[in-house]
Amino acid sequence: MPQASARPVAETERIATIDILRGFALFGILTVNMYLFSNPFQNYLLPLDPNMPWYDRVGLWLVHFLTEGKFYTLFSLLFGLGFALQLQRARARGGKFWTVYMRRLLVLLGFGLVHAFFIWIGDILVLYALLGFVLLLFSKVKRPRTLLIWAGIFLAIPQVLSLALAALIEFGRTVPEAAVQIEAAFVEQEAMFAQEAERAREVYQTGSFLEITAQRARDLQTMWLGTLTMAPTVLGMFLIGAYFGKREIFADLAAHATLFRRLVIWGFLIGIPANLYYAFAIMQVSRTIFGWDLAFANLALAIGGVAQSLAYLGSITLLSRRDPWQRPLSALAPVGQMGLSNYLLQSIIATLIFYSYGLGFFGQVGAAAGWLIAIAIYATQIPLSHWWMRRFRYGPAEWLWRTLTYLRLQPMRR
């Protein structure tokens, strides 16, 4: 393989808008993760606490409406876009791609496993790394439209299965004997999650680092089952991103301005009503009791999440090229340039705030305060990223990722 084909992306090859989008997505991801940083993840599945203050209900509703399901999808799209751009660059140099990219994914998998077991259970990197190997199978696709067709198939899979399961359960409820068993199973499941939530709350509030690590391993058994349900959606968004890359849409933003405007218009027209439905519906149901209510809420989130993420993408892309938005949005580019480092840093800061080996605020912070903490963390990351990127070529995690991927020390200082 020619040496040139196994080198990292040069700074001159970066597309600033993609870095801005990645930086923007990191804020949205943080706002969603904040509830899980500060509470047992089982609380996410259980019915809403009837004693929750109104301002925390508003804060949680805003997460459901504005950010949940919108930013991991956007980040997934950008991952697929990055894959396509790296593939194009490797082919332009006349070299092989698979070996280096598989090594890149293995390193990402290592980051994810360390993150999940020793920092925070809500890791997405393991899923990205594993699905990256599936994404490689699409590297030889010739027609961009084929990528969109497969994306649609993968995005539809979870919803078809969800609706089929709801139909099966609702049919079972029409049989008296089965209905009793179904309800008993759901009651037992809800009680089990409530018990697990209390156990987790005590460990994260008062346990040692070793006890918390053991609790993380216990929680991951359930958490990863939930993460698997996200896999088709993540892969679908990977493929939409690869479609953008294959069509070189970000190589000439002016030529594709109409496309971005359509994404904004149709994304919000579809996304806003779907997410309004989801935000109100999900606060009335328990995720441990499956039926039509939860299935339709999940369907609304699936449609609204993808639509609104595309609307966000179109909006940020268009605004980043216009005054007076260009300058403030460009401030997000360094955050996106060191996106992996900032993603990990968010987990480190948040767990130090909430876990017992830090400030110990676990279970004591509501959704409203969670928004304020997320804003404070992100507001700190912006100047920190600028300071770092003025002095170094890569974020610390990115530098290690590149060094292990290309099997040689990468230059760090500018």
Q: What is the pLDDT of residues 124-143, one digit of tens each?
A: 999 999 999 999 999 999 99
In a domain, 306, yes or no: no
The dihedral sign for the CA sequence 332, 337, 340, 341: negative
What's the pTM value of the predicted model, to 2 decimals? 0.94
In a domain, 8, yes or no: yes
Contact 110, 268 (CB under 8 A): no
With a CB cutoff of 8 Å and minimum separation 6, the contacts of 144 are 243, 246, 247
Number of domains in the chain: 1
**Lookup result for tokens 């493929």:** 239
Please list the alpha-helical segments (H only) found in 247-365: 257-282, 292-319, 326-330, 333-337, 339-354
Residues of the chain below pLDDT 70: 1-14
In a domain, 19, yes or no: yes
In a domain, 261, yes or no: no
In a domain, 47, yes or no: yes
In a domain, 173, yes or no: no
pLDDT tens digits along 228-252: 899 999 999 999 999 999 999 999 9
pLDDT value of position 9: 53
pLDDT value of position 6: 47
The token duo for 374 is: 């997320």
pLDDT tens digits along 378-390: 999 999 999 999 9
**Segments forming the whole domain that contains residue 229:** 3-155+194-247+327-406
Among candidate residues 330, 404, 389, 414, the one with its CA nearest the CA of residue 8: 404
Calculate the alpha carbon distances from 193 to 220, 230, 287, 364, 401 in Å.
Answer: 14, 20, 11, 19, 37
Calculate the alpha carbon distances from 260 to 244, 251, 275 in Å.
Answer: 11, 13, 21
pLDDT tens digits along 200-215: 999 999 999 999 999 9
pLDDT tens digits along 77-96: 999 999 999 999 998 887 78
In a domain, 31, yes or no: yes
In a domain, 91, yes or no: yes
| Cβ neighbours, 10 Å, residue 319 | 17
pLDDT value of position 5: 44
Angle between helices 144-172 and 176-206 (to 10 degrees): 120
C-alpha span between 321 and 329 (Å, rounded): 9
